[in-house]
Amino acid sequence: MKEKRTGLDQVLSSTSRSPAVESEDRPPRERPKVVSGKRPGIRQQTAYLPEAVYQQLRKLAYEEEAKMHDYLMHGLDLVFKEKGLKPIDELTGRED
């Protein structure tokens, strides 16, 4: 029987660490700041697309001389609108 996986809410709400992870001899490691020299305020996210979806998106971008990224951002903007959330330009303070 498989063990139940730990949920993200449990990980984030957990205030105690395992004794094996923490040692009195060394200070706890600090999490590195998420600041990129090239693009501050931007986070990279990988999307795994089925091959046919990737090829169609690539072909569309080529034919319309656009970037695949622009279509992904447009799709996210539509999802946000559908869910009643702020659009991307409002979140970023930019109008592209």
pLDDT in tens, 21-63: 555 676 777 765 555 568 888 899 999 999 999 999 999 999 9
Residue 37 forms part of a structural domain: no
Residue 22 forms part of a structural domain: no
Domain that holds residue 70: 63-90
Q: How far apart are CA 48 and CA 62, in angstroms?
A: 20
Number of domains, the chain: 1
Q: How far apart are CA 69 and CA 47, in angstroms?
A: 11
Residue 72 forms part of a structural domain: yes
Q: How far apart are CA 89 and CA 69, in angstroms?
A: 15
Torsion of CA 22, 24, 25, 27, to 10 degrees: 60
Q: Whole-model pTM? A: 0.57
Residue 78 forms part of a structural domain: yes
The answer to whether 96 touches 89, Cβ cutoff 8 Å, is yes
Residue 17 forms part of a structural domain: no
Q: How far apart are CA 47 and CA 49, in angstroms?
A: 6
